[in-house]
Structure 1
Amino acid sequence: MSEQWVPFGVRMGVQEPVRLKNEFSEDPVTLKAVSDWLGNGIGSLYSPDFEPLIGACNIPVYKDQYNRPLAASRRVFEYAFSDEIPLLNTVEYLAAKSRNRGVPAALNSLCLHYNVNWRFDTATQRLVRRVLPETQEHYENLAKSVDQACSEYLHQAFANAYGHNGDPGEAWAASRKAVEFLLHPIVSPNNTRATISSMIRDIRQAPHKWVSAIPANSSEESVLKFVELLKMMPYEPGHHGQTPGNPTAEQARTQFNLALTVCQIIKDDGFRMADS
């Protein structure tokens, strides 16, 4: 199963989705899952394969109840669960060095289904974040500070961009709606069907009606620079006769982060109506 199953309660809106976990050790269920994965990863290596990890991490010599040194594999396992950083060191090493190609794929599947904010990049052979913790914190703080409807759009965009069986098209569309919700009262308060596209036209026709805090050589240039940000948020492919196609996860995440930036600018009065 390559996609993430979404609980019925989450789909019905009566259960809170699980937020991205920045650590494997945040809860015992996830810790048990990574423990099982580690067992498989360690089992795919021979004793000499552990020497680079033991040497580089200066893994201590653990002993059993009879005061006998543990075997290399057991030594690595004990080290992994001594703290979060040793765990990450071990997870990355096993994913990179495993003789079983299914081990890295199983790790990424684990991160997806348990909503852990890590993935193994096969190109660089390194653990990388699925989303920067700072981005998640920014999103959560912004979502708490705006009206409920806008907050829900941001939540939909984030969930579809970064997890929970995400739909890139839905992430893209919800990102646009969040911006439209905040921008509509400022640009086109009397147009109940205002969209980013129509509001771009309204702003460009009379830029003197608004003020932007984006640095520029003139007030009008500053406003038009804000318009350039909006132009980076077109309709998703296939929408209302647009060029057919399916947006990628990377494109959806970019749209979400653009929406965060624009919404924050608006929330901070970085774009507003000019004083009459």
Structure 2
Amino acid sequence: MRRDEIPTGAAPDRRRARPAAYGRSPDPVRAYSESIKAVEAAAHAVIQPNNAKATLGTMLGEIKNARHKFTTVLSTPAGSDPIAPAEATMRALWEGQTSRHGAQHATVPETLEVARAGVHLAAALVQWCLSGAVTRTP
């Protein structure tokens, strides 16, 4: 994918996530949130192109329910699930953000360390989706 073909939200969200994690006035909650938005923008066309309201959570559901439709170039042991590494990375990012919804128990805002890890997970996922390392099979 050429730079001018990057989905509208992916590049700007990445540019907001990194400064929120590493800038002079870090904002860990924003850094994590922007990281997820970047992945959603990049993965949307690959994982749920027909769902205008796709989120990382709905994309994980799509992979779970139709894993045979997805593959990666990542090396996996013979006979194993080729989408599993990307799915596990997406799930780690998704489940790492506890502050996105209210719950019976108090949520905990992301720490700076957690946010920085999320930024790096997101960077890998965005690259995988934009470069064709994660694809939807016809």
TM-score over 0.5 for the pair? yes
Secondary structure of 1:211's partner? strand
The TM-score, its normalising length taken from structure 1, stands at 0.45
In the TM superposition, residue 217 of structure 1 has moved relative to its aligned partner by: 3.0
Unpaired runs of at least 5, structure 2: none
Secondary structure of 1:222's partner? coil
Q: How does 1:45-194 map to 2 (within 5 A)?
A: 146-194=6-54
Q: Which residue of 1 aligns with 2:116?
A: 253
1:80-135 deviations in whole A, cap 9, x for unaligned? xxxxxxxxxxxxxxxxxxxxxxxxxxxxxxxxxxxxxxxxxxxxxxxxxxxxxxxx
Structure 1 residues 245 and 152: alpha-carbon distance in aligned structure 2, compared to 1, 3 A threshold: same
Secondary structure of 1:198's partner? helix
- Amino acid aligned to 2:51: N
Unpaired runs of at least 5, structure 1: 1-142
| Contact 1:207/1:220 (8 A) holds in 2 | no
In the TM superposition, residue 264 of structure 1 has moved relative to its aligned partner by: 1.2
In the TM superposition, residue 164 of structure 1 has moved relative to its aligned partner by: 3.6
Structure 1 residues 148 and 192: alpha-carbon distance in aligned structure 2, compared to 1, 3 A threshold: closer
| Contact 1:212/1:271 (8 A) holds in 2 | yes
Structure 1 residue 270 and structure 2 residue 130: aligned?
no
| Contact 1:180/1:195 (8 A) holds in 2 | yes
Structure 1 residues 254 and 205: alpha-carbon distance in aligned structure 2, compared to 1, 3 A threshold: same
> Which one has the largest radius of gyration?
1
Q: Which residue of 2 aligns with 1:237?
A: 98
Structure 1 residues 252 and 171: alpha-carbon distance in aligned structure 2, compared to 1, 3 A threshold: same
- Amino acid aligned to 1:241: G
Seq. identity, %: 24
Aligned equivalents of 1:150, 1:177: Cα separation in 2: 7
Aligned equivalents of 1:144, 1:219: Cα separation in 2: 37
| Contact 2:8/2:41 (8 A) holds in 1 | no
Q: Which residue of 2 aligns with 1:206?
A: 66
Alpha-carbon RMSD across the aligned residues, in angstroms, is: 2.1
Structure 1 residues 200 and 219: alpha-carbon distance in aligned structure 2, compared to 1, 3 A threshold: farther
| Contact 1:210/1:223 (8 A) holds in 2 | yes
The TM-score, its normalising length taken from structure 2, stands at 0.86
- Amino acid aligned to 1:266: C
